[in-house]
Amino acid sequence: MLVTIHRIDKTLPLPRHETAGAVAFDLMVRETITIAPDEIVAVPVNIIVATPPGYMFMIAARSSLARKKRLVLPNAVGVIDQDYCGPNDEVHVQLWNIGKEPSTVERGERIAQAMFVKIERAEWSEIEKIDGESRGGFGSTGGYVSSN
C-alpha cells in the first residue's frame, strides 16, 4: 500500500516496521516533553498522513510504554480519520502519566505504534424487533465473575 505522508521535521526518520513480521509501525516523538503525574498530554509524532480511502489509521501503545515510562493512552486506542490530513493536521498521541513521578519522552523516542485497518461504512436497516435469544452482558460466557 502506498501512503502519502509528510514529515514535519525531516531529521527524524519515516515510521517503519521494525521487523519483517511487525503488523504496526512505530511513531516517534518530535520534541522532548515531560509529563507530570496524572497529567494527559498530546505529544506530536512528526507526521501528517493521508489515510487511503477504505482504511482507518489506528494508534495503539507500545507494549513497553506503561512498564518503562508509566505512560498509557487514556482512550486505549487512537483513531485518525481519513479527512484529518490538512497542512496543520500533525498526528498527536495522547499520553497519560499514571506514575507518581514526572515522565519524560525524548525527541526521536518511539512511543506508540500505528497501522492501517480496513474498514467498512455501515448503512442501517432498522427493524422493530430483533429475533433470537439474549446471551447476557459482560462476562456472560464465563470469563468474568462479579464481586456482588
Domains annotated for the chain, with CATH where assigned, are 4-9+24-118 (2.70.40.10)
Q: What is the pLDDT of residue 147?
A: 57
Q: What is the pLDDT of residue 40?
A: 98
Residue stretches of the chain with pLDDT short of 50: none
Q: What is the pLDDT of residue 24?
A: 96
Under 8 Å between Cβ of 34 and 125: no
Distant-in-sequence contacts of 5-8, Cβ < 8 A, 24+ apart: 5/47, 5/48, 5/49, 5/50, 6/47, 6/48, 6/49, 7/46, 7/47, 8/44, 8/46, 8/47, 8/48, 8/90
Q: What is the pLDDT of residue 11?
A: 98
